[in-house]
Amino acid sequence: MKTIDLFKALSNETRLNILQWLKEPHKHFDKPSAHLSKNLSEKGGVCVGDIQEKANLSQSTISQYLSMMQKADLLESERHGKWTYYRRNEETIATLADYIGKDL
């Protein structure tokens, strides 16, 4: 676990919001086109454009945020055609929660 990268990624309110939104994507992204069809991927995901729209930030800022979160292993991405879909990396989040609970 890259602890410093994780805590840097979590030190921004919008990035925390993105993680919360992706925890329950159907609750936070109501457009059917926002979601990766389960037929294409069992893991699902939300389109980067819809994350950008919900966050109300520029495409470059959201791309930077998503890249940082992916580098910290908090997010996974899957590309389908010209669209990239993001989802939480639940394994990393569980490891982080365990670390905080036991070691901090």
The per-residue pLDDT for 103 is: 83
pLDDT band (50, 70, 90) for residue 1 = low
* pLDDT grade for 10, boundaries at 50, 70 and 90: very high
- Give pLDDT, residue 104: 79
pLDDT average, residue stretch 19-45? 75
Report d(CA 25, CA 6) in Å as an integer: 21
Gap between the Cα atoms of 35 and 101, Å rounded: 32
> Running DSSP on this structure, what letter comes out for residue 35?
B
